[in-house]
Amino acid sequence: MWLVVGLGNPGTEYSRTRHNVGFMVVQTLARELGVQVRKKKYRSKIAMAQISGEKVILALPQTYMNMSGLAVKDLLNGFKLLPANMVVIYDDLDLNFGEIRIRPQGSAGTHKGMKSIVQEINTTVFPRVRVGIGPKAEAQGAADFVLSEFSAEEMSALKPVIEKASRAVQMIVNGDIQKAMNEFNRKKV
């Protein structure tokens, strides 16, 4: 069994913001798998699905970004899963818009949602899919940038990126993380 977590902030006021790319990927994956992520459990909205016969829990933490680790810890404990069987999808302002980077493990970097997860579960050994939303304007603060909404043009350009990130998650669940890295890392979509 796998846990697929998209990071973001709950509420319609955040639904089109850059910080909610993780939510967007999980919601796209849910549509592709024919489920809706809406059952409330472990401080998250979840759905049960299958990818190539493998059971998958799709999750959208409802704790707000900076406390994502609380929900992730509850999910892992509640479903009795190891972090190595979890994929986390999130935005990255250090990657150019449209770039995807997949890693089997690594640091949290400057992302506060990831810092919260690492702090709560005490490991960095879990796959992650980062979706580029940068660069931000020199004078703009990081918090303002990630909480700003995508323009209509950006949302249109983001759609194929989100679809590719969804495919990357499916490859990871299928045991093909190396293939996903080779196919998607740093390639502008």
Which of 19, 43, 112, 128 is flagged as catalytic? 19
Question: DSSP code of 144?
Answer: H
Which of 43, 68, 170, 48 has its CA nearest to residue 121?
Answer: 68
Q: Please indicate whether residue 19 is annotated as part of the active site.
A: yes
What is the per-residue pLDDT for 116? Answer: 98
What is the per-residue pLDDT for 165? Answer: 97
What is the per-residue pLDDT for 187? Answer: 61
Q: At 55, list the tokens.
A: 């059971």
What is the per-residue pLDDT for 188? Answer: 59
What is the per-residue pLDDT for 11? Answer: 94
Sketch out the chain's domains with CATH numbers.
Answer: 2-184 (3.40.50.1470)
Which tens digits make up the pLDDT trace of 134-169? 988 888 899 999 999 999 999 999 999 999 999 999
Q: How far is CA 117 from the centre of its chain?
A: 12
Rounded to whole angstroms, how far apart are CA atoms 161 and 157? 7
Q: Would you list the DSSP string of 6-39?
A: E----SGGGTTBGGGHHHHHHHHHHHHHT----E
Q: Would you list the DSSP string of 45-102?
A: EEEEEEETTEEEEEEEESS-GGGHHHHHHHHHHHTT--GGGEEEEEEEEEEETT-EEE
Which residues of the chain carry a pLDDT beneath 50? none
CB of 126 closer than 8 Å to CB of 83: yes
What is the per-residue pLDDT for 137? Answer: 80
What is the per-residue pLDDT for 136? Answer: 83
User: CB 180: neighbour CB atoms within 10 A?
Assistant: 25
Which tens digits make up the pLDDT trace of 172-182? 999 999 999 99
User: CB 115: neighbour CB atoms within 10 A?
Assistant: 16
